[in-house]
Chains A and B, each alone.
Chain A
Amino acid sequence: MTDKPFEGWRLSRRAFLEAAATAGVAMAAVPLHLNAADAPVALHKYQPEFLNVDEWAFVMAATARLIPSEGEGPGARETRVPVFIDRQLAGKYGAATDWYMQGPYDPSASPDRGYQTPLTPAQLYRQGIKAVNVWCEKRHGKTFADLDAPIQDETLTSLQNGRLVLVPELSWFFSVLLANTREGYFADPKYGGNHGMQAWVYIGFPGARASFKEWAMQYNKPYPLGPVSIAGKRA
């Protein structure tokens, strides 16, 4: 991984303030026995492997609305979901290595015919983010990342329900973004998200413990232990 400061990082004012604020929240939420060596680079200093500056700003902003920091439980920022998404897009998932990607394509096919766009997930983000930003500039005079949270929520809602019209090739953009955000929230921390297993702690999933024979018949009794990760860390 390339968790080193990102020289070309152009941070929007709003994103900077949020990053600074959530860094504090994240520090407070990370259990003490995760030692200092585990503390990753701050999100605003993270150097993306795939996403460019504008795309990173979009993913930071959008995921923070999909799973916000406010209220009980960690948000996408605290769990480092943007890092997860960046790494997934840089790898074989982003390149759709496992999928059948030969034409002819029918991107206008009804959704229940499955994924029929010629775009890989990486291309979907690249073109989708550009299209949403163009729409936001036209409507609000700012890119998505620089909009206020309520307007961002409104924009994401329009993207989800199709009022923000994209070309058919991009019709999967929102559902892929949402799916990847949830994946980054709940996947094992080895993929860069679910930092400190905070999402597992929050809902009560014990991660890779995976041995519960004596618990099968203990009815209506909460399991007492917190999660472990594949790397053997506890939270």
Chain B
Amino acid sequence: MARKAPKKDAVIVGLGWTGSILGMELASAGLDVLALERGEDRETVPNFQYPNEMDELKYAVRYELMQKPANSTLTIRRTLDEVALPYRKLGSFLPGIGVGGAGVHWNGRTWRPQPEELRLHSYVTEKFGQKTIPDGMFLQDYPVTYAELEPYFDRFERMAAISGKAGNINGKIIDGGDPFEGPRSRDYAMPPLPSTYDASLFAKAAKAMGCHPFPQPASIASQSYVNEYGMQLGPCSFCGFCERYGCYNYSKGSPQTCILDALKRKPNFAYKVKVEVLRVDLAADKKTATGVTYFDHTTGEEVFQPADIVLLCAFQLHNVHLMLLSGIGKPYDPATGEGVTGRSYAYQTEGGLTMFMPDQTFNPFVGTGATDVVITDYTTNRIDLGREGFIGGSSISAGTTNGQPIHSLPLPSDTPTWGKGWKKAIKQWYGHSMSIGSQGSCMAYRDCYLDLDPTYKDHFGRPLMRMTFNWQDNDLRMTQFMRKKIEAIAASMKPAVMQSSFKDKGAMYDVRPYQTTHTVGGAIMGADPKSSALNRYLQSHDVHNVFVMGAGAFPQNIQFNPTGLLGGLAYWSAHAIRTDYLRNPRDLS
């Protein structure tokens, strides 16, 4: 029998970006807040300090900062007929664990979605007609507009220390920024990071072809900065250990560098680590939650933590798993199309092209997670979707993130994989190649979803979650369109060797190579409780004192990194809780 802990006003599950934001916002409103994190505590010193952090094997290959599948994983199948098999060892995506969550090991690439992406169903049907939407695709508007979210995007970007160049301030197009972005109320807090050599070559070539290159907005300080919570960041050292690492230099935006030290000073905020929430407990009528039950890995005891508000702030996959285990929302069933929890799981459709240029020296170890130059000329709001026959788009970029040789040493595809030919090639090509990548949208489909696995269990005896996902023709056509655009730019740069890697028709989802951790959906936001788990304030349609943060709310995925959108949504939801829900707790929709 679980021990009952003293009641809290709000309990937060998972202390990453959204947990830290909600913790700060609700503690500032006077609530007694407790955050529960199943991983370890982490601080810049000692956890990310130089030189121990510069360890490719430990962090980038053995995944020190990531969720251990032994403790928590899921099963995966591509089609309804396949038997799902466990994701036994990390590959395709890398969920983080520990205080700071994915906010520790990310690259800092921070975007807003295009306004059209938030009303995609309306945009597509108004402009190209209903017939553009293929059978089996669940295309939906977000139940909140770009204009409504603008102040909250701005708040997140100021908090998370973004370096960048605005392209659209209140409707005025600014030279050197993203001309196709939605209007912003002001420029970024800091000027952009300098561009690495590869990024500058790409910018020149893209511009010559009529595109509009601009620097990647980065949650990486380009100069000294103090945010609204009094947290200080220093300029980035271009150390080349960003993605999969914590930042030793207090330069990358993270819960540690931007929120936590300020939050920990608040007497009405507390957090526990190595405590794993097993379920959200519901009242008999299942209309409200009474709290959460967690297992304390330090004491070995099970604890019931009563709370008036439960905030699910874990990684997208874990939030959906907890909802399924707790009976929050009817589970989605692809046979009937009914149910909401687990519906509309989506991924991202990425491609890349590597150019080998023996006469160029790139110093690939000089980089940050986000020094790219980007073009948005082939994004959703720029493409004639009716003519091209797909829905979606991609941001396209080039720039150096790292030159770590175990996992980042591109070689021409005809190179032997071992032996003297391989050894010769690694010296010949290290530092003499550059890549252009596309980050593309991924729509939601009837047969791509999350539910509980019938066979496999975790060490608490709970069913693992099961992912059913495969690449779909619409997104494959989109990425093939990008291949042509990128190959044209690359060819103009006259590389000695050029090799493309874009998924094509019939591609099956391969769980082995790393692709992206931008997994979304499964707890989507929408106006209709029959087809969405959350309302426009990220509040459960079914259990009104449960709010679910993160990318699980995306009805279909965007063509950018998700953190800017989920950060804006977290501030938007926090505002609704503070100004409306607290004085009259109810379904806000």
Instruction: Point out the residues of chain A lying under 8 angstroms from B195, CB to CB.
Output: 216-217
Q: Is chain A's binding surface mostly helix, strand, loop or mixed?
A: loop
Beta-carbon contact of A208 and B430 below 8 Å: no
Residue A182, interface by CB 8 Å: yes
Residue B230, interface by CB 8 Å: no
Instruction: Point out the residues of chain A lying under 8 angstroms from B431, CB to CB.
Output: 203-204, 222
Beta-carbon contact of B510 and A112 below 8 Å: yes
Say how far A65's CB is from chain B's closest CB, in angstroms.
7
Residue B420, interface by CB 8 Å: yes
A66 to B419, CA, bound (A): 5
Instruction: Point out the residues of chain B lying under 8 angstroms from A7, CB to CB.
Output: none
Contact residues on A (Cβ < 8 Å of other chain), bracket: 35 or more
Residue from the set B51, B68, B76, B91 with the largest chain A CB neighbour count within 10 Å: B51
Beta-carbon contact of B511 and A186 below 8 Å: no
Segment of B133-141, B237-245, B533-541 engaged in the interface with chain A: B237-245
Residue from the set A66, A98, A104, A223 with the largest chain B CB neighbour count within 10 Å: A98
Residue A156, interface by CB 8 Å: yes
Residue A3, interface by CB 8 Å: no
In B411-440, the 8 Å CB interface with A consists of 417-420, 422-424, 426-427, 430-431
Say how far B392's CB is from chain A's closest CB, in angstroms.
24
Residue A135, interface by CB 8 Å: no
Complex partner residue of B426 from A98, A100, A203, CB under 8 angstroms: A203
Closest 7 CB pairs of A and B: A208-B54, A210-B239, A112-B510, A187-B57, A100-B69, A203-B430, A212-B366
Beta-carbon contact of A75 and B423 below 8 Å: yes
Beta-carbon contact of A191 and B51 below 8 Å: no
In B206-240, the 8 Å CB interface with A consists of 235-240
Extra A-B contacts (12), CB below 8 Å, given A93-B62, A102-B457: A67-B418, A68-B420, A73-B423, A96-B70, A116-B85, A178-B417, A188-B54, A202-B427, A210-B240, A216-B367, A219-B200, A223-B365
Known A-B contacts A71-B423, A98-B70; the reply to A220 vs B457 at CB < 8 A is no
Instruction: Point out the residues of chain A lying under 8 angstroms from B61, CB to CB.
Output: 183, 187
Known A-B contacts A101-B88, A210-B239; the reply to A72 vs B427 at CB < 8 A is yes
Beta-carbon contact of A212 and B54 below 8 Å: no
Beta-carbon contact of A73 and B427 below 8 Å: yes
Q: Is chain B's binding surface mostly helix, strand, loop or mixed?
A: loop
Beta-carbon contact of B371 and A188 below 8 Å: no
Beta-carbon contact of B62 and A98 below 8 Å: yes
Say how far A70's CB is from chain B's closest CB, in angstroms.
6
Complex partner residue of B423 from A67, A106, A219, CB under 8 angstroms: A67
Beta-carbon contact of B406 and A182 below 8 Å: yes
Residue A137, interface by CB 8 Å: no
Say how far A150's CB is from chain B's closest CB, in angstroms.
11
Known A-B contacts A101-B70, A215-B363, A219-B197; the reply to A114 vs B419 at CB < 8 A is no
Residue of B nearest to A223 (CB): B363
Beta-carbon contact of B406 and A186 below 8 Å: yes
A-B contact pairs, 23 of them (CB 8 A): A73-B426, A96-B70, A98-B63, A98-B69, A98-B70, A98-B89, A100-B89, A102-B456, A112-B511, A113-B76, A114-B87, A156-B418, A178-B418, A183-B61, A187-B57, A188-B54, A191-B57, A202-B427, A203-B409, A203-B426, A213-B236, A216-B238, A216-B366
Instruction: Point out the residues of chain A lying under 8 angstroms from B427, CB to CB.
Output: 72-73, 202-204
Residue B56, interface by CB 8 Å: yes
Residue A27, interface by CB 8 Å: no
Q: Mark A118-145, 1 if CB is under 8 A from B, else 0.
A: 0000000000000000000000000000
Residue A148, interface by CB 8 Å: no
A81 to B412, CA, bound (A): 25
Q: Mark A181-222, 1 if CB is under 8 A from B, else 0.
A: 111001110110000000110111111111111011111111
Residue B360, interface by CB 8 Å: yes
A211 to B215, CA, bound (A): 21
Residue of B nearest to A84 (CB): B57
Instruction: Point out the residues of chain A lying under 8 angstroms from B170, CB to CB.
Output: none
Say how far A180's CB is from chain B's closest CB, in angstroms.
10
Beta-carbon contact of B424 and A216 below 8 Å: no
Residue of B nearest to A210 (CB): B239
Instruction: Point out the residues of chain B lying under 8 angstroms from A71, CB to CB.
Output: 420, 423-424
Residue of A nearest to B238 (CB): A212
Residue A232, interface by CB 8 Å: yes
Instruction: Point out the residues of chain A lying under 8 angstroms from B54, CB to CB.
Output: 188, 207-208, 210, 230
In A87-112, the 8 Å CB interface with B consists of 93, 96-102, 104, 106, 109, 111-112
Beta-carbon contact of B55 and A100 below 8 Å: no
Residue A46, interface by CB 8 Å: no
Residue of A nearest to B418 (CB): A66
Residue of A nearest to B251 (CB): A213
A68 to B88, CA, bound (A): 32
Complex partner residue of A213 from B237, B417, B418, CB under 8 angstroms: B237
Q: Mark B41-85, 1 if CB is under 8 A from A, else 0.
A: 000000000111011110001110000111001001000000101
Say how far B41's CB is from chain A's closest CB, in angstroms.
19
